[in-house]
Structure 1
Amino acid sequence: MTNWEAGTTAPTGPTSLTPRPRSAPDPLRGAEPWWMDTMDAVIRSCHTHGRPDLAERLTRRRARLLDSQLRVLVTGPAQQGRSRLVNALINAPVAGLLPDGDAAVPVVVRHADTPVAHLIRRDSATADWTAAVGMQSRIPLAAQRLGTSLAEALGALPAGAPVHADIGVPRSLLAGGLVLIDAPGLSLAATGSPPVAAAQDLADRAGADLVLYTCETGRHLSDTELGIVAALSQVFPGLLVVLTKADYADDWRRDLAESRQRLNRAGIGAPVTAVSSALRAHAVRTGDEALNRESGFTDLIVHLRQMAEAKPDRLARATTGTLGRIALQELAVPLRTELENQDDDGAPETVAHLQATHRRLDELRKSTVRWQNRLSDEVTDLMSDIEHDLRDRVKALLAEADEFFSTADPAKSWDEFEPWLRQSLQELAQTSMTWLTERTEWMARRTADMFPAEAGDVLPPTALAITRGSLAEVSGLDAPPVAAFTPGQKLFIGLRGSYGGIVMFGLATSLAGMSLINPISIGGGALFGGKSVRDESKTLLKRRQAEARTAVRQYVDDIFTTLNKDARDSVRRVQRALRDHFTAVTEDLQEEAMESLRNAKAAADRDAAARESRARTLRAELTRLAELHAQAQALGDRARA
């Protein structure tokens, strides 16, 4: 193995990592590294856009980038050689100390002048591993028997307590600021938190600057692992996929190539290397340099050295560029969505209200024409109907009066008939006016129906003024003049009729030899005289009845004319009252609609101005975020150059 793909070489024994001289900062930019300007600008943008959670994460990463230590998280699924990889790197048994090498006890390995180890108790499972703890949270461990001491310390603590082991060893590899973190194995089954989220949370709590993802050679990366690697590589530039146990693989070169191809197809640009911790350990024990080169650790150590040297500059710029782009994209999404929604929403509520107000005003104008036409038509119909109703009632009354006088003698029954006639006419007038009142109210409701529904109840608040029919002021009907049938008239008519009887019967009896005036002719004359008196009496009765009918008809016609005029006058008054009332209602509704229209137009203008101002603000802010994104992109491009 003589190249990166085939594995790397490294000298045997404890490896040295001597930091190379760092470039001096630009005097024109001050003492701070210039990538911090971009990071600070992104953090300020997060606060501006109400994302304190994102700002807090970036602030923590900023503080870590300013730390001189390079914290390397070694992670991956269980039983994939993570702990052996850490032990082989520093040639010391510091990881995988418990019988269950994948127990959930993270191990942080750092440089120390003498071997020292502590079990650190954290406040919670989500507490930051980099946070400083007091002496009361540190449990000393025996460096000579780490495994046993760690097991004893864990046994004295409650089950599930959040702890991690902090181990210091005197290794030159670690003296340059390298810190190795052996994290518990990742669970690829999504029984709790999703694997991707769990891996990101683990790296964040570990305070990692760099991630080594381990996978056993010959076991291809699963889709879940590809998701984990993709997510970690987005926020941890320099992530390296390490294929462990290369000495057990039938063809590690083929496995290495297939893993790289699989990562490339997934769009993951992380480099891949293959190592063998067993060969590394054996080479260190035997001092076999060729076997050490075969172990593949040389280029891995070179990669770590380069990352440690690049942290203040290249790695910090790459991390800032990556994190800045991700954060800015998150900030831009709601702004872009809001801007697009302004275009997709169509007419805003204020414009819709303005349009509705215009339609309401147009409908009100149309209703004005409709109610005026309806009122005019209803009045015309009512005039015709009330006259027809009065005529029918008068006709029925006259028919009843004619029937009465067909048998009754006006001279004898007039005092009985005249009160009945007055009472009937009074009832006729009252009934007709009551019907007229109901009809005018119905007409008012029909006219009010022509107004829009939103106008509400527009009927007059008081009852319509209809003059109730009354004949109290009409003089009574006097009896028609009746000719008196005196006894003298009766005697004269009787004698005239009896003369003919006497002559006719006298002539008939004279044939029998009797005289002209005899008892028979006298009896016939008396018979004819009585009949003449009765016939004349009947003629006079019929004349009196006809005169009574004529007088009643003329009297009723006068009453009809009066009632008809009163009814028409009442209808006219109602028409004018309704016209004035509905005109006032229309004017009030139009004024209200015009005021609403003015307010709606003003609101629409204000809303349009506000939307345009907001759109300009959104575009300006998106432009600013795009410029900041381009600045972050430039940082990443320079870091990769």
Structure 2
Amino acid sequence: MTTPEQAGPVARLLRYANEVHGLAGRCGRQDLAEVLAASAARWKDECTDIVVAGAQKRGKSRLLNTLVGHPDLLPVDADVATNCFLSLRRGPRLTAVVHRNTGTGLVETPITVESIPDYASMRGDAGKRRDVVSVDITLDNPLLDGLRLLDTPGVDSLTVGHRQVTVAMLQRADALLFTLSAQDQPVLRHELEFLAEAAERVQAIVFVLTKVEDSTNWRSLQEENQARLRTFVTEAIAADPGRAATLSPLLRAPWIPVSSKLAEAAAAKRREGRAERADALRARSGMDVLERHLRGFAEGRESARGATVVSAALSVLNALATGAQDDVAAGSDDAGDVTARLAELDAELAALGELVARRRAGAVANTFLGREVGGIVAARVAEIRQPYENAIATLKKQEQIDRYMAELPESVQRSLEAAWSQIVFDVEKLARTTLDAFARDLGLGPVELSADRSGMPNLSQVQVKGDQAADAPVDVDMVRDVLPSISMAASFGGLAAAMLGPIGFLLVAPAIGASIFLGRRSLEKVQRNQAAIRGALRDQFSVVAREMTLDLERMVATWRVGVEQAADDSLTRRRKELESRRAELKSASARSAADRQKSRQSGQDRISAINTLTRRGHALREELATAVAALGAAPAAAPAPVS
């Protein structure tokens, strides 16, 4: 039995995708048929994934808490941890499960709901959030029936790894809620750039303007945001008209002003039995409008997913058209048609030769990446070391030194963990920028780098010399004997706290679990004075910097070789495709007149079918865009102040 929905654009989309898939198979392009099949792989998933994204402090976590009716569920005063996302879906009871990447697979660990911030937020415990990929939260809320809400790290351009994680999440998204705040600055350039990337992957996008309850000019701010978006999209399309189809829907996306504060006030009034007042506050909060959109996405998930399938189908058709045009040229009675087509292929091969030359030049430039690593390491290690030296100068009494050294193992572990994580990020950022530019110059997509911030160089055997007396040198274990402690602030009445500020900042990076130093030396033989500690400190950090530099140089070399190999593979594949097309074109043009006529007719028939399917694809895309825009659409009420 055919339902009304199946008689609409979704049913036509499925028939359309099958036709394109069949055409690719008949043309002998099973590789293209597989591309389309992969795009439709999620079609039967009955849960709609909605990614909630935005910069830090834009109100997205509080918004999610309000939507699911648990004000304290997600931490609202700290961003989601790097490389992590939170999933909210319906379940029989309130539970939380942490998913960790162990290197050999994901491991699930149940946790208490109260401990979610420890594992999933930047204010949490560095040890607990290590290697956490996601936290899966279930709760019994009808809003989540058929929905999965995904809270992602902030898309701020300067946040370690956050933007990349959120962009990656869009690959599985059916819709995007993008949050902006009425109490913050207007939309920024890096947010607009993120939205441009998002629009290439997701067609259903809603802008949510949060915190409107205390803002007297939220309407003017929303208008300014819309104007900035319009300018950005207009300029982007002018620079590249081919982006019009993906960027234009951003200008038609709905804007919903909401107030979590008003919604929470409504819930409080309802608990007090003041239903009328609660209904009024709820209506003013804008949450009902937003929930209608969410339910609309759940009920119309096929429309949202259809845009992805159409885009894949159009890409397949474009590739099929090239082969069909070759067949038409080869079968032409006019020898000039073959000559012109061969000239086009020769021009493409010549351009490919230029790319090969640029690849060689780029590879030479890439070799300097390794040399820049040493400078990054030296700068970060010096940043770590200097506050320690300042703290050492404050140690005047022997009991202060003794107390200071008692805390050294944990101190150096945390300090070097923090330094390593930040250094890896700095190096990864440099490498990504350089290698991305290299790839773009060769017509390749963005590079994917995988930095292991959880692995430190093996420093367990690193030792330095310290003087017991001027003429009696002995080995000194730096973990136990020399390096200062971050936690000294409490011991010295806060004296060291002011000096160790930069280290506290660096601790936002993921911490590692393996012990950095394993050997411990006895303290009895060590002369504990400022000069010995300071000298050993410098020697030790010099050794650490050298070991880190060597480890990172290997990592950068691996990235560089991988990207350059991908470039070589792409250029080689492209050359083989062009040379194969040229050979087939020459061979086909030498066939008998009857065979050439048959080839020409086949090519023309395929071109006609491709053109028809392409027109239908563009029409379907517009129809689906209209359907997506209508999901949950309703006029938004203006929230009013709490009274």
From the CA coordinates, give the structure whose radius of gyration is larger: 1
User: What TM-score results when the alignment is normalised by the length of structure 2?
Assistant: 0.46
User: What TM-score results when the alignment is normalised by the length of structure 1?
Assistant: 0.46
